[in-house]
Amino acid sequence: MNAVSTIPEQSLLEAIPEKLGVSEPWAQKGGVYWLASDTLNIRDLASVMNASHARFITITAYQMPGDQGLRLEYHWDLDGKVLGFSFPLAANSFESIYDLCEAVDWIEREIHEGFAVDFTGRDYEPLLLRQGDTPGVNLRKPASALSGQEEVKK
Amino acid sequence: MGPYHPALEEPYKLDLICEGETVTDAKLHIGFNFRGIEHLAETRNYIQVIALMERVCGICSNIHTLTLCQAMEQLTNQTPPPRAQYIRVVVAELERLHSHVLWAGIAAKLMGFKTMFMTCFEIREKVMDVLQAISGNRVNYSMNRIGGVNRDIDDPLAVLAMIEQLEREMVRTVIPIFTTSSTARSRCAGIGVLTNQKAVSCGIVGPTARASGLPQDLRRAAPYAAYSEMEFDVPVQHDGDVRARLLVRALEIMESCKILRQALTKMPSGDINTGEAKIVFSTGTATSRVEAPRGEVMYSVSWKENSRNPSRVHVRTPTFANMPGVRWMVMGARLADTPLIQASIDPCYSCTDR
């Protein structure tokens, strides 16, 4: 049996914003270390996460009020800490990181099918979710159902 | 193979490409049990949503409500009392025992070891008896609520006596057969290998990851409930084959018994919940993770102030992370071994499809 490391090296966590060229520090909220920046690029982020030996957890898609589109939140685990990165989607497409991070395959496919987001730069296999044969019918709400909703901030 | 096949009583489909009896590639298809639970959650209030998420899975039902309640506690700024945290540990470990023994029975059946299957299911019934004695229920225990638990364990030492009896039976039957039996070894060793490198790149979690040499366990790395006060080991094996997964779960059964003994003997007195009659949510998103029997479960929950319903509940289940790894496990395997290989990750399609 092996012992499990419990505390991440703080310097590793602190080095991530610098590697990404982000001046803002981590903000801890809702059980997650958030790094907010308008200049974050998902593919650079995936490369830095790989180099830091962070484990990809999941992507959560949020449908914003009215015609504001969607928001994607990416989560990685770094030795027990959850790291979060939020990306607003003006259009219904976003760069795939499947070629950099194999673990995103199914969740990118699920969001593609549930919310009709097109992750560019990858091929899609047949539907994961059997209900509904058109992307976007399972989880995406019609715009009329979203009118008047306020944005939920992280 | 599938979507309905003799390996498991749950639907999923494996498209296998073979050369003779050897599998050269596989494609996985899920979604046959899709119920739209995440969407339904947005139509339920903060009490109803707990009951709804308890039904994501029929085996680890408690884990889903625990993870959800921990996320909702962040949004309502509530901290469960110490006794509630201990009760959460007890129920979570009983659920792990229940899940691992159930899996051991199914694995035994797939190995052609029918007597062992019956023995495991007999023990599993006894674990469910303990859960029934605590909660009044055998499947959906309804133990968790925002700010604590719904039911107390009135006599922890009586439960401890039941656990010790269970442990004796497992030490006498299940553990030696799975750890030392030549039948189990010959049927499981060297098949369905998931290399450490592949486990890392696929983001594999839980016992499947630990059987490929990854020492990750949220109970240790990011303790929740009262796990920071428990002493236990995290079993890790390095071969990455079916036998390694078998050994990890067998050893985890013993570690669960160790945790249960500590939780039941050290359980502090006091309240079992915060007793808040009015629950007030703040606007925001909270994330919670728990080490379920199959691995990490993560909930992201969004709420708007003054709303009774969540704006979004996203569930990442362990099988959703582990299933893509099955493709790499079956490549190069004999066709006859594929049912056992895919069962070795202890998949739950009910969780995966939601």
Question: Per the structure block, which two tokens stand in for A63?
Answer: 């449908």
Tens of pLDDT, residue by residue over B275-323, are 887 888 988 899 999 999 999 999 999 998 888 899 999 999 999 999 9
Sheet holding A55-63, edge to edge: A27-29, A32-34, A81-89, A70-78, A55-63
Cβ under 8 Å to B: A residues 44-73: 55-58, 60-63, 73
Give residue A153's region: left, alpha or beta (phi > 0; psi -120 to 50).
beta
- With a cut of 60, say whether residue A151 has pLDDT above it: no
Residue A10 has pLDDT above 80, yes or no: no
B175 vs B22: CA distance, rounded Å: 31
* Backbone torsion region of residue B197, taken as left when φ is above 0, otherwise alpha when ψ lies between -120 and 50, otherwise beta: alpha
Q: With cut-offs at 50, 70 and 90, classify the pLDDT of residue A5.
A: very low
- Pair B52, B38: CB distance under 8 Å: no
The predicted-structure confidence for B204-261, as pLDDT tens digits, reads as follows 999 999 999 999 999 999 999 999 999 999 999 999 999 999 889 988 988 999 999 9
Largest CA distance in chain A: 56
How distant is the Cα of B134 from the closest Cα of chain A, in angstroms? 30
Residue in B74, B316, B353 closest to A30 by CB: B74
Point out the residue among A2, A60, A101 whose CB comes nearest to the CB of B215: A2
Residue, of B65 and B109, whose pLDDT is higher: B65
Residue A146 to residue B140: CA distance in whole angstroms: 34
CB contacts < 8 Å between A and B, how many? 125
In this predicted structure, the answer to whether residue A150 has a pLDDT above a threshold of 60 is no
Residues from chain B that touch A131, judged by Cβ atoms under 8 A, are 31, 34, 36
How do beta strands A32-34 and A81-89 pair?
parallel
Say how far apart CA B105 and CA B174 lie, in whole Å: 9
pLDDT score at A144: 63
CA dist A148 → A63, A65, A66, B43, B86 (Å): 13, 7, 7, 17, 43
Q: For residue B325, what is the nearest residue in chain A, using CA coordinates?
A: A103
* Cβ distance of A73 and B222 shorter than 8 Å: no
- The pLDDT assigned to B10 comes to 75
The 10s digit of each residue's pLDDT in B247-288 is 899 889 889 999 999 999 999 999 999 988 788 898 889 999
Percentage of chain B beyond pLDDT 70 is 99
pLDDT of residue B340: 85
By CB atoms closer than 10 A (0-12, 13-18, 19+), residue B187 is buried
Structure tokens at B298: 């993560």
Closest CA of chain A from B85, distance in Å? 18
Cα–Cα distance measured from residue B127 to residue A49, given in angstroms and rounded to the nearest whole number: 41
Determine the pLDDT at residue B181: 78
Chain A positions touching B233 (Cβ under 8 A) are: 1
- Is the model more confident about A132 or about B12? B12
Strand partners, A84: A34, A75
* Min Cα–Cα distance to chain B from A112, Å: 14
With CB atoms and an 8 Å threshold, state whether A153 touches B283: yes
Per-residue pLDDT of B169-213, as tens digits, reads: 888 887 887 777 787 788 888 899 999 999 999 999 999 999 999
A123 touches chain B (CB under 8 A): no
Residue with token string 């364990």: B153
Per-residue pLDDT band at B342 (split at 50, 70, 90): confident
